[in-house]
Structure formats: structure tokens, C-alpha cells
Amino acid sequence: MNFTWTLWLAFLGLILGHGLPGAIVGGISGFIIDSVRQSQRRHATPEVGGFIGPLFALLGAVAKSDGRVSEAEIAIAERLMARMGLDAEQRKQAVTSFNAGKQPEFNVTPAIDGLRQWVGMRRDHAFPVLDVVIETVLAEGNPPPEQMSILRQLAFALRVSDMELMALMAMKGYAWNTGTGGGQRGHGSNGNYVPPQRNTQGPDPYTVLGIAHSADDRAVKRAYRKLISEHHPDRLGDLPEDMRRRAESRASDINAAYERIKSDRGFK
């Protein structure tokens, strides 16, 4: 939190208030202002379209990171432009950024930083961004380490943990084999995401909620409430319809996972 107003008003109170009492009053007033400003920044809706350049540049970098850009990865980028309803100028920006990201010398750090700044304190906006990148990462099945490295860099920058990233992957029918036990395993190694054995019931509900199978009922309920509050589409504000639909799909997966656990355990 930034304490600019707290410090300035405390100093002003010290001078004009003739001592410690004035500094205290000024500091309290400044702290209230800083708290309000922080709350406004936390809940501010990101600038519409501000993600287009860094997002499509990162998608280009992800696609090229294994040495070649596949038709499937290009098709995903094109479908994304269409689903987001980009106008002619925005589409031109997206294509230019994607092509820039494909260049061998492209540095992903500025693009990731641009997305981090666009998301700001809105973690509920971080998940739709990650979901879009995950779609490209999984375009050809088991992703190579280079693509997973970029995805995890982005997740870290957006303050999304490996466990939360694993849950997002699980919602798409994939599992993360960490090699350390626990959670749903795939058939790979070295922490790769791999297609697990699927069943008609969908992904492992505990992985979707980001908890261990041994978690008690209270921990299950707490994890569910936290996730559904972060992924609820009503909180997204003015985002493209495609990102809103992704949030709705995740909320549906979270609800389904919770209902399965409730049914298995027999609690309400």
C-alpha cells in the first residue's frame, strides 16, 4: 500500500498543528485517503482493449517457443480475435503483436509486465488472461517445457500460484505431474502437464478446487467459496464477451466439482 498521503498530512499536521497531536490527526486523515485510493485501484476495471498488444505478443511467443508455429496455434489466435469481437484496428494490432512475438529475439518480459499492469490488483481478471494463454499452450496436447516456462512466468507475475494454475489446467481435462505426490497425476514427468486418463465425470474435483483429497469438510467449503468469488463472471466488469464466457465456464466447473465432493461425502 502507498502511504504518500499519510506521510504528507502527518508532516503537515506536525508543522501546522504544533507538534505530535497535529501529526497524529494529519496521519490518520492521510491514512484514510490512502486506504480509499488503494481500494479504488484494487476494484478498478482495466482499460478496455489494453490487453490486446501484450496478450497477442505473448501468444506469438508461446507458439514459437518450441521452434515452430503450428497451424493449430495460428487457428487459436484467429478464433480468439473473432470471439473477442475485435474491430479492424484492434485486429491489426493483434496480428502485428502476434507476429512480433514470433520473432526469435522477442523478450516476453515486457509483454508479461504489460499484462500484469493491465490486470492490476484484479485477480479475477488474471484468470481469463491465463485461460487464453493456456489454450495456446495446450494446442498440440502435451506442451513442451519452453511453453510451460512462459505460462508459469505469467502466472507468477499475476500472483497465481502453481496450485491455482494446476486447477485451471484440470478444468480443461489436464493434470500436472509434479513428481511430488498428491493431486491428480498424468503420465509424464518433470512437472509437465499431460492428458490424464479421462472419465465420464470430468476432471478430479479436488484438483479443480485446489485442495488435497484429505482436506476436511470445512476446508472444502472454504476453498469453494474463495474460488467461486474469484471466478464469478458478475465481477468482471467491461471485458470482452469471450473472457466473460470463459469465467462462466470456470464457475460452472467449480460448482460441478463442489457438488461432486458434497455428494461423495454426504454433506450439505
Q: Are residues 62 and 142 in the same domain?
A: yes
Contact 83, 242 (CB under 8 A): yes
Per the prediction, the chain carries an average pLDDT of 77
Q: Are residues 245 and 208 in the same domain?
A: yes
Q: Are residues 37 and 113 in the same domain?
A: no
Q: Provide the pLDDT for residue 192.
A: 44
Q: Provide the pLDDT for residue 226.
A: 84
Q: Provide the pLDDT for residue 103.
A: 93
Q: Are residues 80 and 134 in the same domain?
A: yes
Domain count, the chain: 3
Q: Provide the pLDDT for residue 85.
A: 82
Contact 216, 61 (CB under 8 A): no
Contact 208, 175 (CB under 8 A): no
Q: Are residues 259 and 227 in the same domain?
A: yes
Q: Are residues 58 and 141 in the same domain?
A: yes
Q: Provide the pLDDT for residue 112.
A: 95
Q: Provide the pLDDT for residue 138.
A: 87
Q: Are residues 132 and 105 in the same domain?
A: yes
Residue 194 cell numbers, joined: 499431460
Q: Provide the pLDDT for residue 252.
A: 84
| 6-33 confidence digits (pLDDT tens) | 777 666 766 776 677 767 766 677 667 6
| 103-145 confidence digits (pLDDT tens) | 989 999 999 999 998 888 777 788 888 988 998 998 887 788 8
Please report whether residue 186 resides in a domain.
no
User: 193 pLDDT exceeds 60?
Assistant: no
Please report whether residue 182 resides in a domain.
no
Q: Are residues 155 and 232 in the same domain?
A: no
Q: Provide the pLDDT for residue 113.
A: 93
Please report whether residue 188 resides in a domain.
no
Domain with residue 154: its CATH number is: 1.10.3680
The parent domain of residue 128 ranges over 49-161
| 133-181 confidence digits (pLDDT tens) | 998 998 887 788 899 999 999 999 999 888 888 888 877 767 654 443 3
